[in-house]
Amino acid sequence: MKRALSLFSILAILISSLWAMKPGDPAPDFSEKDIDGKLRSLTEFKGKFVILEWHNQGCPFVRKHYNSGNMQKLQKEITSKGVVWLSVISSAPGKQGYVTAEQEKEYLKKSRAFPTSVLLDPDGSMGRAYGAKTTPQMVLISPQGKILYSGAIDDKPTTDAEDIPGAKNYVLDAVGEVLAGKAVSVPASQPYGCSVKYE
């Protein structure tokens, strides 16, 4: 029994590593409806930097960044520079984190969030294509459609908002570097948070 569980664990890790997208890889295109019912794709934003943020309202790690206003501040600052910010919800129906379009609209209004759009990915196809494992998990895509950064929002994998001021924000740093014409100094990190609730 233990051997079977061990083999299963190894297989899960291998599959997970196959899913994982690495910096320099072409970003998979997607076709997902946003909360207004509009079909959105990566090709729509060709020529722009794009951030993907995997989101789950009920995750304490996500709440850390939203309840403190940190994520909203980051969204506002980054989108003001012409970067597209897409929040992605890959929770399956019946799983924790799944929301309807109307529920997410209410959440955005209440939390005063500033994503360019929120994509609903209930079948998990987009999340799996990007190897999204946690919420939050962040991806930065170049105007040419290459992955520039993939991983955690910062280097403080806790649910404590008091850790935010002293954290190294990988996303903010990466955006600042690419807009200055530099290479991303930390192109990948270990994502942290709640597991994405796939089907």
Domain coordinates in residue numbering, the chain: 25-195
Query: Is this model's pTM higher than 0.95 or not?
Result: no
- CA–CA separation, 71 and 17 (whole Å): 27
CATH superfamily of 25-195: Glutaredoxin (3.40.30.10)
Report, as an integer, the average pLDDT of 9-32.
66
For range 63-78, the mean pLDDT: 98
Alpha-carbon span 183 to 169, nearest angstrom: 16
Going by DSSP bridges, is the β-strand pair 117-120/84-89 parallel, antiparallel, or unpaired? parallel
User: Average pLDDT, stretch 60-76?
Assistant: 98
Q: What is the residue whose two structure tokens read 């079909």?
A: 39
DSSP 9-70: HHHHHHHHHHH---TTSBPPP-EEEETTS-EEEGGGGTTS-EEEEE--TT-HHHHHHHHTTH
Task: State the Cα–Cα distance between residues 34 and 32, nearest whole angstrom.
Answer: 6
The one-letter amino acid code at 188 reads A
Q: Does residue 19 have a pLDDT over 50?
A: no
pLDDT band at 11 (very low <50, low <70, confident <90, very high): very low
Strand partners, 22: none
Amino acid at 182: K
With cut-offs at 50, 70 and 90, classify the pLDDT of residue 20.
low
pLDDT in tens, 85-142: 999 999 999 999 999 999 999 999 999 999 999 999 999 999 999 999 999 999 999 9
pLDDT per residue over 36-45, tens digit each? 999 999 999 9
